[in-house]
Copies of this chain bind each other. A is one copy, B any other.
Amino acid sequence: MARAVTAKDVAREAGVSQATVSYVINAHPGQKISAPTRERVQAAIDRLGYTPSESARALRKGSSNVVLLVLPDIPFGPTLAHLIEQIADELEPFGLTTITRRVRATSPLASHWRSLQPVAVVSIAAISPEDEAEMQAAGVLVVSALLSPSSQRLGISVPQTLIGRMQVEHLAYAGHRHLGYAAPDDVRVTGFYQLRLEGVRSACLDLGLADPVVVPVALDTSSAEQAVRYWRSLPDPVTAVAAYNDETAFAVLAGMQRLGLSAPRDLAVIGVDNIPLAALASPPLTTIDQNLGMVAAYVARQIASVTHGIAEPMPLRSDAVTLVLRESA
């Protein structure tokens, strides 16, 4: 079990002190290293295959190069997976490592971040003010994504209510007056669901439409079939459905299929997320794209602006959330 190569080994190999090796690696301002020395050290590093120990570095500096991504206990759909992956990809060029941790509401957040001493915590879930204060006090940057940041906190929120509003606006524009809402079956996404539905509701109000008929739809055909049958059985039948997300929309389409109905003729359907499969639904699914790629980039730049002193990101354009018009609505 070979011992790892340390800076001291490199120093010996290059005939300098360990401190010099460190200065060469980190380009410390206020400490000049001559070109020949730098080269000798670099050569030794290459020859020995030296890699600085992240643990030692973190211990010394008091904070690691880790960004902790805190997820609520929500199902791990393609959209969320992609968001995580993108944030990690955007942070990597800055030497920042992303660690994701799923947090149940009951367990205190502290146990998760204290031991890691991350440089930043990105939260998809809501953070309690106490947790936040603690982290601020410890010098940890707190960034929230998706849900609204507090005033003191950095972050970016995709206005979930806007998403619901846009669904309704499109359906109303197409002439629909009586809408249904396909709610998710999973209590764990209530945070998002409530906000989106709120957007739907207020948009209906603003546009003079009837209040949407909310029905939970599980991700199976019979559940959706039942919902569809109910919507169409009303005195004022629902003619269009806004779904919580694309997966729920798929379920609605499957339920309709089973009943021999077709979208948008019998019932228009609009989803949220624009998952890759949305274009392949039958009929191709009209949906709202949150453009989470921009969110990922924004979050990453915001962190890098603090840790690496790069320019602050431009505020996100408000037209980031877009309608993807296909055939289902």
Contacts and interface: CB of A to CB of B under 8 A. Distances in A.
Interface of A: 1-2, 4, 49, 51-56, 58-59, 62, 64, 76-78, 81-82, 85, 88-89, 97-102, 110-111, 114-117, 137-139, 219-221, 247, 250-251, 253-254, 257, 276-277, 279-282, 284
A259 to B, nearest CB: 12
B221 A284 contact: yes
A293 to B, nearest CB: 13
Nearest to A277: B250
Contacts of A251: 280
A5 to B, nearest CB: 8
A22 to B, nearest CB: 15
A117 B53 contact: yes
Contacts of A257: 282
Contact of A76 (B62, B85, B284): B85
A206 to B, nearest CB: 32
Contacts of A116: 54, 97
Contacts of A1: 137-139
Nearest to A52: B115
Nearest to A108: B49
Contact of A56 (B59, B97, B221, B280): B59
A77 B247 CA distance: 15
24 contacts: A1-B138, A51-B110, A51-B115, A53-B117, A55-B56, A55-B59, A55-B117, A77-B78, A88-B100, A88-B102, A89-B102, A97-B99, A219-B276, A219-B277, A219-B279, A220-B279, A220-B280, A247-B276, A247-B280, A253-B280, A253-B282, A254-B280, A257-B282, A282-B282
A277 B251 CA distance: 8
A221 B280 contact: yes
A2 B85 CA distance: 32
Contact of A117 (B54, B250, B282): B54
A161 B251 CA distance: 32
Nearest to A81: B81
Given A254-B282, A282-B282, 4 more contacts: A53-B59, A247-B276, A253-B282, A254-B280
Contacts of A279: 219-221, 254
A139 B2 CA distance: 8
A64 B54 CA distance: 10
Contacts of A99: 97-99
Contacts of A100: 88
Nearest to A78: B78
Nearest to A138: B2
A115 B97 CA distance: 11
Nearest to A63: B55
Contacts of A89: 102
